[in-house]
Amino acid sequence: MNEFSSRRESLFSQISDNSLVLVSSGSEQIRNRDVEYDFRAESSFFYLTGFEEPDAVLCLLKKAGECQSILFLRTKDVEQEIWQGRRLGVEAAPEQLKLDLAFDIELLSEEVESLIEDIQSVYFSFAELADWAPMLEGWLSSQKAKARQGVQATHTLKDADNLLHEARLIKSSAEIEIMRKAAQISMKGHLAALKIARGGSADTLWEYQIQAALEAEFKHRGSPRVAFSSIVAGGENACVLHYTENTLPIQQGDLVLVDAGAEYQGYAGDITSTFPANGKFSLPQKRLYELTLKAQQAVIALIAPGVLYNELHQTAAKVITEGLVSLGILKGNVDSLMEDNAYKPFFMHGTGHWLGMDVHDVGDYKQQGEWRALQIGMVLTVEPGIYISEEVGKAKGVDAQYWNIGIRIEDDVVVTETGADVLSVGLPRTVAEIEAFMADKTAS
């Protein structure tokens, strides 16, 4: 039994008898006239099948104690395949994907109308309610019409995400090794960004040139696509959290913030590095960078099974608050400043997020209103940051030497029995390591 079959079996064990689960791969979306966006299968669909074609639906049927995995997909079509690419096809799908049955996607409504008879519960993603509603209405109406024939209509609709998101939150050993590879490919891309920045060319270096270097390295090392739109932000652009234009020149005195990750076998890497374009931190840059790194290291040291998720952010926020007080950027008692969230104008986002098939991966952060405890197999990012735009600096009375500095440091971490395993290890992280790497034009 392969990994995908095991996941389907696990899901079958969690649903009651006489239930049907519907999971769609999604459809291609138009970018502009006659051009589609690069297609990526919906993550939970891929999690259960390993199949990446559009216009496919997985049906998991549990009826009278019997379980069947049924896939609806596009048929083989020579003319379409000449234009649009090869298809797996209905005949090959059961054996290749370890499924029980496969049908033409055009038969979805007709076949499910038959399958759904006497099914008590139907599971689907409530996030896709608008997509499923027309078919569900038709299926349920058909059942109601057959009541005098003894057909019992479905009476419960359930959100499949409640089961699938929790399953995806805890990674298997196989998933963790794939994520380690995604993180290491991402790390190599960030090293490529550092290398092109240290080149010492007299020509102006542009943000998009750094982006090109790191994304080329991703592909060179086996990543088919980025996990999210790459951020390459020079100078004041780093104070925009989701800056993705990447179109401006980088000045020699600037810090460069790079937030980028490779996707590998459906899983995301997500790393942020910050470095000086000229290879040397100014004193204000160094102070803020070392404070951010101190906060990140404190959080990573805290990670262990049983630690509550919000303790990670509270730890980072306190380290940053203490540091901002010592630098004179914040003034007052640290505990009082923490109570007032005084750090938020300078550190306005969380300290991390779940990581997996989606870069902001699924899984609840709270259970029954309480922050959940970390468990072995969870993968998360650790990414504290400090951002002082000129506007915020003026408004908060911050010394001008700190204006237009944005810093974030992010790594990918898996929770283990003994604490934290940093999947993205390998980048120079301290000021001394970064400056040495930037100064050594031969270092790999």
**pLDDT tens digits for 384-404?**
999 999 999 999 999 999 999
Residues 264 and 304 in one domain: yes
Lowest-pLDDT choice from 26-30, 113-117, 122-126, 232-236: 113-117
Could you tell me if 50 and 63 lie in one domain? yes
Token couple for 421: 């395993």
Residues paired with 53 in a beta bridge: none
- Assess contact for 302 and 315: CB atoms under 8 A: yes
Residues 326 and 366 in one domain: yes
| Shared domain check, 182 and 156 | no
On whether residue 444 sits in a domain, the answer given is no
Do residues 255 and 343 share a domain?
A: yes
pLDDT at 442: 75
Q: How far is CA 4 from CA 19, 257, 363, in A?
A: 20, 37, 19
Give domain status of residue 208, yes or no: yes
Q: Tell me, what CATH number does 299's domain have?
A: 3.90.230.10
How far apart CA 253 and CA 276 sit, in angstroms, is 7
Over residues 2-24, the mean pLDDT reads: 97
Residue 46, in any domain of the structure = yes
Number of domains in the chain: 2
Kindly state whether residues 230 and 292 are assigned to the same domain. Answer: yes
Give 229's DSSP letter. -
Which run of H or E residues covers position 96? helix 93-97
> Rounded CA gap, 325 and 401, in Å?
16
pLDDT tier at 34, thresholds 50, 70, 90: confident
Q: What average pLDDT does the segment 411-428 reach?
A: 98
Sheet strands side by side (includes 267-268): 225-226, 262-264, 267-268
Q: Among 314, 346, 315, which residue's Cα sits nearest to residue 330? A: 346
- Please indicate, yes or no, whether residues 199 and 163 belong to a single structural domain of this protein: no
Say yes or no: 174 and 161 in one domain.
no
Residues 190-210: what's their mean pLDDT? 86
Residue 100: name the closest of 146, 133, 74, 67 by CA. 67
The residues annotated as belonging to the active site are: 34, 242, 259, 270, 349, 353, 360, 383, 387, 408, 410
Confidence of residue 200 (pLDDT cuts 50, 70, 90): low
Rounded to an integer, what distance in angstroms lies between the CA atom of residue 68 and that of residue 48?
A: 13
Domain that holds residue 255: 170-439
Final residue belonging to a domain, choices 167, 201, 217? 167
196 and 153 share one domain: no
Note whether 270 and 228 are within 8 A (CB).
yes
Is residue 52, in this structure, part of any structural domain at all?
yes
Same domain for 213 and 154 = no
Q: What is the CATH number of the domain that holds 141?
A: 3.40.350.10
Task: Tell me what pLDDT residue 51 has.
Answer: 98
Beta strands across the sheet bearing 121-124: 101-104, 66-73, 57-63, 19-24, 121-124, 156-159
Q: How many CA atoms lie within 13 A of 431 on its CB side?
A: 16
Assess whether 144 and 209 both reside in one domain.
no
Is residue 265 one of the residues assigned to a domain? yes
Residue with tokens 């270096």: 205
Same domain, residue pair 300 and 338? yes
Q: Which of 44, 43, 39 is nearest to 74 (CA)?
A: 39
Domain end position, chosen among 167, 185, 206: 167
